[in-house]
Chains A and B, each alone.
Chain A
Amino acid sequence: MNRITKLAILIAVFALVAAACGSDSDSGSDSGGDGFRVAIVAPSASNDLAFTQSMVDAVNSLKDSGVVSEVAITDGTFVPEDGATAIRDYASDGYDLVIAHGSQYGAFLPEIAPDFPDVSFAWGTAADTYGLPNVFSYEAASDQGGRVMGIMAAALSQSDVVGIVGPIEVGDAKLYVDGFKAGVLVGKPGADVPVNYIDSFSDVALASEAATSLIGAGADVLSGTAQMVVGAITVAKADGVLWFGTQANQTSLAPEIVVASQVYHWEGILEEIVSNVKGGTLGGELYSITFANGGLVIEYNDDYPLPDDVRELGDNAVKAFEDAG
């Protein structure tokens, strides 16, 4: 086999790889709005029924309503350095707003953002703009939904053991887990709420075993956050254990056992960010979605026969947050 053939085959292989990886990003260039272009860089798949999808859905709905004209997505960049490269590429392509949807990308923004003073960056979930004039940050008050669903979980649990599967104990995940646990304890002060952080955002097999372990410890209601929980949901489904979801509506994964999901609606704050950018303010503000500003919504699974009194507990808890503003 001569060198040229070898080289040709290597190139062919890498071309295939590049094709496979590259096609993750697609841009809809059909016009609309007044030419406002938004790019999203996110760690998991845009249809992950979780973190990434929540933002992709929000931006697409802004596109449908004509607020933005063009959306580009690079998803699955779970390696932060790859995400940083994509962020820089979009910025240099002249996108008006580049959304770095993942707290792990934050560390790169102080390096990237100053190089593109005319581009606005939005980074979440986080509560820090690094003092940069062209960086917004956004987060979800996911503890609110956690608390609401925790209260309902306590009411539904017969064993008084409610388990939670977490990824790594940071950011949005920690906020949600702490809120959920607090909610369960509000509902049933004597309940046992084991939390199993598997220390990975991506290990589906470990999440599955964590759920098994929690069920083994007596849990009859589970919740969990981050994209690897799909493994936990299938275990819950197989064992007939109830599930509360977050970040997106997870009903389709297991209609039999999903009670409700906390869903993020970033549209509201995104619209504000876009109008800020259009008005010349490229950053510096912190945003948070809450029940009060309509960014958090509890979506119930209509197929699950939720007792009315439990539903009422949930509604009351939501109302308490809305009233508190």
Chain B
Amino acid sequence: MLLTGAEIVIRCLQEEKVEFVFGYPGGSVLYIYDELFKQDKFKHVLVRHEQAAVHAADAYSRSSNKIGVCLVTSGPGVTNAVTGIATAYMDSIPLVVITGQVPTAYIGQDAFQEADTVGITRPCVKHNFLVKNVKDLAETMKKAFYLAQTGRPGPVLVDIPKDITTHKCEFAYPKSISMRSYNPVVKGHAGQIKKAMQLLLDAKRPMVYTGGGVILSNAAESLTKLVRTLGFPITNTLMGLGAYPATDKQFLGMLGMHGTVEANMAMQHCDVLLAIGARFDDRVIGNPEHFNEESRKIIHIDIDPSSISKRVKVDVPIVGNVADVLDDLQKQLATAQSHSDPKALAAWWQKIAEWRGKNCLKYKESNDVIMPQFVVEKLFEVTGGDAFVASDVGQHQMWAAQYYKFDKPRRWINSGGLGTMGFGLPAAMGICFANPGATVACVTGEASIQMCIQELSTCKQYRLPIKIINLNNRYLGMVRQWQEMFHGNRYAESYIDALPDFVKLAEAYGHVGMQITKPQDVGPALHKAFTEHKNDLVFLDFITDQTANVFPMVAAGKGLSQMILAEDL
């Protein structure tokens, strides 16, 4: 039977067992929407801005390991989506983005709502396609799903001109795909794994450092088992939180620009470093030259060879899927002849205990004004540490990462690489769709939340019971912090005047709004939101201390051990 291109798109999504498509209709995708309307195998989620469609699909994927799918129209639909696509790309999140395009004959004619989609998105996708013939459509869709989810994952875009959605051809969905130019490695090299194991066993001051790759490869369990067997200290990057239980005693907290003293010092002073699914980026190791001043052997496991020895030279590279390599490492460890030196390890833990003794996350408590850190601590308490937490970008993001102890993977959903303000609320929506019934909080600030505030309307439409934790300090907090520390207290454009009444705003959208101004009301308000208003979206506007800063801090260009602590100021 002959199907139209639009029907084929729908059939492909059904074949891929897609549950939700996040999107926004427009001229170029009308035929696709028409077919979407006629089926009930998957649901469409109508957002209020294309950026939110991509963020929601992205968080749907992050919080569930299912692939996110979005559908937007040509021109402005695509350009609005670009921020979302770049966000997913920087954090290696598997997505399929379907975009409408003007009819083939109009391409290049500066047609209405035309944009060079493939050109604009090329630098921020894993791959993209322009479908020029309906006969290629099914195979292209299959390739998109395959590419997005294999190897180092990432967003893949399929651009479909409007005329292609009306052309007809036979539909056959390929069972599998093989591409001569794309053969991602899965298994790690056995010899390299053996070398790594020997280095680990010989280490006097070992350290394990893991990133988003562990989460993406669903290797949290393998990692936890391995690290417990070894008895080594471990740190997670911002993207890797939840890969190892944060409440475990071997966990040193997050590392990096706002990492703990114990994590950063152990990272700097270890003699063997096991890096897994992480990429030594600037926010994590600070200045690479300073990092290299201490000599250490580095083992690096990553699925992407280009992540290895990019910023820091490594001694034992292992290219492969993190989960597979960790399992192989565990097996080799079980049959190993030698063992770690318990004396050296005990001395190392002793040293770490000294660093821990600094209690670097301690902050000045107050009875008069709400400390933002306190809100996150209370959130952790009230939710029993078991919530999905989406965040926006800035100080609140760092406090959420520092004070909410994530024990499970895929619970902490944030834009780590691109640092996209506006990510939080649509991300929380995506989490709700992937995890119905789950407790979902969005930790945000009064600046970030306003970058996608329109999604309160989407939340109403789909009855999403998100709890928005707005840490409202009337400043672009992180910008203000840098201006205070590095720009002589000149707060250029970082003060937000004329804020809306968030309580009324939430109510206007049909939600529950609360404003909390006193520290003693924080706990009760959260409790009320998560119990009495369990099924409502609650906007909790916490009026917080305006001067609170995120510490510890490694200033840009400085080394990991050159932290500024709260007590230094």
A binds B: no
**Chain B residues in the interface with A (C-beta under 8 A):** none
**Chain A residues in the interface with B (C-beta under 8 A):** none
